[in-house]
Chain A
Amino acid sequence: MTVKLVEISDVTKNYRRDEFSIKVLAGVSMDVTEGEFVALMGPSGSGKSTLLNLLAGIDRPTSGQIRVAGQELGALNDSQLAGWRHRNVGFVFQFYHLIPVLTAFENLELPLTLTKLSRAQRRKKVDLALEVVGLADRKDHYPRQLSGGQEQRVAIARAIVTDPRLVLADEPTGDLDAASAQEILDLLAQLNEEFGKTIVMVTHDPRAAERAGRELHLDKGRLNSAADAA
């Protein structure tokens, strides 16, 4: 039985730039089933990162509804949304965005400090996440002591350390060389296939998109077509 983890219904998003109102998303509707790996593609400015931000609950739509894991996001205030995000969403950024003054271990531990877990429980979860991404031996390294690919793997570990149902990745290979990008895509595929994580990935790269189970194309704020890739 398939469960809809993400339900987006007629979502629009407008931004104001000075006196101009710019429509970034124009009536987007889509669903993502639990356990799916979806690639969101489109040219620059098509609205894919905006859609990802709305799914993560770090931005709010101008109109329409977004329901993730059974929760209507528009019904939550800022504080509730922060708590919901912490429990349900793992976010992977294009430029990793690790905290430079914290080690890999401490970066992963950071979201867990918001829980009531004991130090030993936190340690166990962090060690497991680092093992999954293959960086258990680099846990005491600072971000500056890691390569780009390793930083992104730590960032992915940070995204999954709270065991979220939904992992959102915004151009996760956009800042990496081909070999490192391949490793990251392998890792995301592994998370999807072995650990059953639902992943929505924004990418420009058609080869990266091929790793996903489904491709969605956005153009000028509209979802143009969907194609089953795999």
Chain B
Amino acid sequence: MDSTVSLDILPGTVDLLLLKTLSWGPRHGYGVSQWIRQETNGRLGLEDAALYQALHRLERQEVVTSEWGLSDQNRRARFYQLTDKGRRRLTEELSQWHAYAAAVGSLLSATPCGGGEG
């Protein structure tokens, strides 16, 4: 926890993260936040405010729906769930992300070649 390296998150990545989180089943906002923090050891500098904004935005885009239900500790909480549209979006964005990551990754690990002489 002490060695927090704050990583500024790339735009659009939050949505993808949320979709991924929700792909395992309905979760409330706190659950999502908790999961991300645990998985990244809190290194991702994602404010909860931004997380909730993204959740509500995704709901407006109808890729997730929300419903009030009871949490594990029997407290009333708002649960978010992927819709069919959300599932499709996740698949799409995942493949885009992987293609992007692969492309950037290959560039970053490349060695210079003699293309200069043409």
Question: Do the two shown chains form a genuine complex with each other?
Answer: no
